[in-house]
Amino acid sequence: MGSFLDISLAIECPKCGSKSKRSLRWIKAHDQYVCHCGHVITLKTDELGTKVKAAEKGLADLQELLKKVSPLNDPSPPKK
């Protein structure tokens, strides 16, 4: 399974309107994006980082829950 951080988001330039896709991993690592038109876009990485951490925790919790209820982990014979 791919990382949640590999999901791409479109960053839209308020000056020229062009959109550029960047992964959450890239966005977490940068606080600015320079559009091809030269406009500097400041990214709200503090707010995004908090939300990404919460989402990562939620996904980790879900994975643990699925391991507990997965039929592949059930040692009992299948029901007829």
3-state secondary structure of 42: strand
Q: Are 15 and 5 in contact (CB under 8 A)?
A: no
Q: Which residues, listed in sequence order, are joined to residue 33 by a DSSP beta bridge?
A: 41
pTM over cut 0.75? no
Domain boundaries, the chain: 4-70
Q: How many CA atoms lie within 13 A of 53 on its CB side?
A: 7
Q: What is the pLDDT of residue 27?
A: 87
Question: Could you give the C-alpha distances from 39 to 14, 24, 63, in angstroms and in order?
Answer: 8, 21, 41
Q: What is the pLDDT of residue 65?
A: 85
**If pLDDT is split at 50, 70 and 90, which confidence band does 33 have?**
very high
